[in-house]
Chain A
Amino acid sequence: MAGASSRSNVGVLPPEASGGQRETPEPPPSQPSNRVDVDLKVGRNTGRVKGVDIGHIEGPAAVTVNALATPAKEDQVYAPPVARHAFFRRSDELDRIERRLRSGDTVLVHGMAGIGKTTVAAEAVKRLHGAIALDEGILWLSEIDEAPMAAICDAIARRFGDDANPNARARNEARRHP
């Protein structure tokens, strides 16, 4: 992507290794940011934009990698979005999604802009989170087209690599040496 720079500043791999791109100085606040910022945020944000409710799956395992963070979002901590409202009219689609995901398939939800694809995905995630044991949780990657592949891989490594997560490391150790 032209004009973008990668800022993978934490983790097991140095910034130089991500696509050969280097960190650039902060743009002045008045300019619109065109920077791609890949970082891993764990936890939850306030989830409220002027009354539009967005819930979030909580817990240490639920993670969002935001590939297109604006400066205002940098300090926020993200968790996957969850549809908070009771109203829902897509039960046929949800049943299909749930069935295929339970058998380990890859599922694509497609449709026109604003039709509710992300809302359906968030609802499916909420159902699965309650229904099956997702011990390792949910890895929610948004807009991966906007980030270099190496930067996305770095972000995943920071979350799931043994260096990044003492709890996961302890669990994996326990499995390897019961």
Chain B
Amino acid sequence: MLAPETKPDATRDLLAKHRSLLLVLDHLISSETAHRFISVCVPDGLPVLSTSRSRHAVFNESIPIRELAAEDTEALFRDRAELSQGDNLVAEICRTLDYHPLALTIAAARVKTEELPLSRLLPRLADEKTRLRALRVGENADRDRNVWASLNLSYRAWKFRPAADLHVVSRVLWRDDGSPAPGQSLGPVPNRMRGPGWTACCPVVSRARRQPCRSAETGA
């Protein structure tokens, strides 16, 4: 029997006997895991293909997967939904879902299997309250086919650091003067976020407090 600490070395020796093998590491998260696994368990010369949301230095080659062009996402949606050419709502759906391949694949699956007309799908996707529900398929939590589960994967991996994270969130939601950033519907920095606890975390909120924007002047 092997002790746990000798297993990675034993695994490398075992894999070294199997040369015509391809190892795939799907959904790798931390650089530490990547480094530990690749440098200890994987023998030299064994091909490894890995996917991750972040870059990790331990790999020989890093290949970024970029966003698809708008017309490619429309073709993707038509293909998955098995639609014929010429429905002008397809472009609108792609724009609503920010040309996101996973979201579009799931929306297309619902069109195909439930025979949901695009004219009924579009308002559900456009409404923030129903969007995520409209992008779930099946009962399971399979992240590969579920936008909610995909977001949850990020959420689970998130180590909350109040100061830094609230700073990032505030940069996304508001401009330097405290007015809403383009595309954000939350309105200006709320008055209840203008207390000392918040301003310590968020320079944006802090600046908004020093230079009160319109709603602060009228509201407080």
Cβ–Cβ < 8 Å partners of B60 in chain A: 100, 105-107
Assembled-state Cα–Cα distance A150/B101 (Å): 35
Interface string of B24-57 (1 = CB under 8 A from A): 1111111001101110011011111111111110
Count class of interface residues, chain A? 35 or more
Beta-carbon contacts under 8 Å, A129-143 to B: 132-143
Q: How many A-B residue pairs have CB under 8 A?
A: 236
Interface string of B143-158 (1 = CB under 8 A from A): 0110100110110000
Assembled-state Cα–Cα distance A72/B101 (Å): 27
Q: Please tell me which stretch of A22-30, A35-43, A115-123 contacts chain B, meaning at least 4 of its Cβ atoms lie within 8 angstroms of it.
A: A115-123
Q: Which of A49, A86, A132, A152 contacts B138 (CB 8 A)?
A: A49
Q: Are B63 and A93 in contact (CB under 8 A)?
A: yes
Cβ–Cβ < 8 Å partners of A50 in chain B: 109, 113, 137-138
Q: Are B47 and A108 in contact (CB under 8 A)?
A: no
* A148–chain B nearest beta-carbon distance, Å: 8
Q: Are A139 and B23 in contact (CB under 8 A)?
A: yes
* A169–chain B nearest beta-carbon distance, Å: 11
Asked if A75 lies at the interface with its beta carbon under 8 angstroms from chain B, I say no
Assembled-state Cα–Cα distance A115/B182 (Å): 23
Assembled-state Cα–Cα distance A104/B20 (Å): 10
Q: Are A138 and B1 in contact (CB under 8 A)?
A: no
Sample 11 A-B pairs with CB under 8 A, ordered by A number.
A81-B144, A87-B80, A89-B69, A109-B49, A109-B50, A113-B154, A114-B101, A141-B26, A145-B28, A149-B41, A154-B7
Assembled-state Cα–Cα distance A17/B33 (Å): 20
Assembled-state Cα–Cα distance A108/B100 (Å): 21
Chain A residue nearest to B30 in the complex (CB):
A145
Knowing A17-B4, A118-B144 touch, does A102 contact B47 (C-beta < 8 A)? yes
Asked if A166 lies at the interface with its beta carbon under 8 angstroms from chain B, I say no
Knowing A52-B109, A111-B65, A114-B147 touch, does A153 contact B11 (C-beta < 8 A)? yes
Interface class of chain A by DSSP: mixed
Beta-carbon contacts under 8 Å, B47-85 to A: 47-56, 58-69, 72, 75-76, 79-80
Cβ–Cβ < 8 Å partners of B30 in chain A: 145
Q: Are B24 and A113 in contact (CB under 8 A)?
A: no
Asked if B15 lies at the interface with its beta carbon under 8 angstroms from chain A, I say yes
Asked if B179 lies at the interface with its beta carbon under 8 angstroms from chain A, I say no
Q: Are A85 and B49 in contact (CB under 8 A)?
A: no
Asked if A59 lies at the interface with its beta carbon under 8 angstroms from chain B, I say no
Cβ–Cβ < 8 Å partners of A143 in chain B: 26-27, 29
Assembled-state Cα–Cα distance A168/B37 (Å): 24
Cβ–Cβ < 8 Å partners of B33 in chain A: 144-145
Knowing A110-B53, A110-B55, A172-B17 touch, does A101 contact B22 (C-beta < 8 A)? yes
